Amino acid sequence: MNPQVPIEYGNYYHIFNKGINGSNIFYNDDNYLHFIRLYEKHIEPISETYAWVLLKNHFHLLIRIKEQNEIMDKYPNNSYSNNKMLYSYFSDFFNAYAQAINKSIGRTGSLFQHPFKRKLIKSESYFRNLVIYIHQNPQRHKFTDNFRNYKWSSYNTILSDKPTRMNRDLVMKWFENRENFIFSNNIEIDSSDSEIYIE
């Protein structure tokens, strides 16, 4: 087994995981919304989000871990602890969600595969291709006939003018403009590409 890359300040990551043994992790709209609420609580204070998608049995996130001083500024009353490992914020997030799902449907045990998967993003091309890969994922896995209409994805949030917690401006900067973002997302990504490929 290949060792997981460490979670470190200032780095960009593709974070992804699926239900244990391929089982579902979302059962209804309330589950998706609760996942987002817990993400806002546990992960947003330490990260910036650029793309995401939630599917019935797995999810993908494209984020940057903030620098330590950026994180400290987000925590009121100096409640941020620089002794807490960054990995622990994700563990707390996934554990809180798993506990809520287990309670709601009367199941026990792990919900997600362990450890959660992550890949370090080192290039502009990986960043751009990963945004497209994430947005096309619902159609690739046949959860929808048209990824543009999929509800639990950042695609339409990026195109919208409505306020968002995401760093929409940087995504647009990487794609140069709105028109090129739409055009690029219409080009099917080769998911077997070594840079994008995941298990």
User: What are 32-66's pLDDT values in tens digits?
Assistant: 999 999 999 999 999 999 999 999 999 999 999 99
pLDDT in tens, 107-154: 888 999 988 999 999 999 999 999 999 999 999 999 999 999 999 999
User: Which pLDDT value is given to residue 1?
Assistant: 44
Q: 176 lies in which domain range? A: 12-185
In a domain? residue 33:
yes
In a domain? residue 194:
no
What angle is formed at CA 154 by the lines to CA 20 and CA 47, rounded to 5 degrees?
75
DSSP-derived 3-state class of residue 176: coil
In a domain? residue 196:
no
Domain count, the chain: 1
CB neighbourhood size of 112 (10 A): 20
CB neighbourhood size of 2 (10 A): 5
CATH number at residue 136: 3.30.70.1290
In a domain? residue 169:
yes
In a domain? residue 192:
no
User: Which pLDDT value is given to residue 72?
Assistant: 80
In a domain? residue 166:
yes
As a whole number of angstroms, the distance between CA 18 and CA 56 comes to 9
DSSP-derived 3-state class of residue 31: helix
